[in-house]
Amino acid sequence: MRAGAANFIAFGFPMIVTRSFFNRPTTELAHQLLGTFLVHDTPHGRIAGRIVETEAYLFRDDPACHAHRGMTKRNEVMFGSAGHAYVYFVYGMYYCFNVVSGVEGEGEAVLIRALEPVAGIDLMEKNRDNKNREQLCNGPGKLVLALGLNGGHNGCCLRKSSLRIFDRQSFRREYREGREFVTVKATRIGISQGKELPLRFYVKDSPFISKK
């Protein structure tokens, strides 16, 4: 077992975020998700990463949001309760992972764009066929591959399934005060409409984000 994985377990008592953590405006949730940990418990072991980049997609006045034109078979999970996974297929070969947010009936979500690998790094390297730690999860398609996720995770509960989100305090020994991070707000990436909206958030100076 690698040091990262050992540390992750040794720090002990990791706390899954509360139900109320997800019950806040989507833009605020996108910001608050920075620094939390996305953890996937697989049959081969635990894979986890610290969220360092997110984007908010809003129901109203956001043409880039999948739910902008109403509910379809693909996006119906976005209209459900916050704290579930919205995983969709794109560009014929990749999946993207989102955290459903907002109130029920209004499709909103937070796209997770990049992670800092924390545990199960050997598994991530295997899943991605890449050994550069900074490049394992520095993009929405990449982190889905690294964590071993697929369309089957669409709709799963992020507090009660094998895929969960742990709070920041769980790992404070590793990320103690000296490594406190500064967050940055910017415009989103990879979309043709709604580019001007400042709905992207990332950890300043992190080498693990998708684009500087």
Q: Is 155 in the site for DNA (CB under 7 A)?
A: no
181: Cβ–Cβ under 8 A, 6 or more apart, which residues? 34, 35, 175, 203, 204, 206
Residue whose C-alpha is closest to residue 202's, from 118, 83, 111: 111
Q: Which is nearer to DNA, 9 or 90 (CB)?
A: 90
**Token pair belonging to 110:** 């937070």
Amino acid at 1: M
Q: How far is CA 189 from the centre of its chain?
A: 15
Q: Do the Cβ atoms of 37 and 51 come closer than 8 Å?
A: yes
Q: Is 98 in the site for DNA (CB under 7 A)?
A: yes
Q: Which is nearer to DNA, 14 or 190 (CB)?
A: 190
Query: Of 15-23, 25-33, 140-148, 176-184, which part binds DNA (CB under 7 A)?
Result: 140-148
Q: Is 126 in the site for DNA (CB under 7 A)?
A: no
Q: Is 109 in the site for DNA (CB under 7 A)?
A: yes
CB of 177 to DNA, least distance (A): 30
> x-or-dash pattern for DNA, window 2-41, by CB under 7 A?
----------------------------------------
| Whole-angstrom distance, CA of residue 149 vs CA of residue 147 | 6
CB of 43 to DNA, least distance (A): 24
Q: Is 66 in the site for DNA (CB under 7 A)?
A: yes
Q: Which is nearer to DNA, 156 or 171 (CB)?
A: 156
| Whole-angstrom distance, CA of residue 128 vs CA of residue 191 | 24
Amino acid at 154: N
| Whole-angstrom distance, CA of residue 200 vs CA of residue 187 | 5
Residues found near DNA in the complex (CB under 7 A): 55, 57, 64-67, 69, 72-75, 78, 86, 89-94, 96, 98, 109, 111, 128, 130, 135, 139-143, 189-192, 210
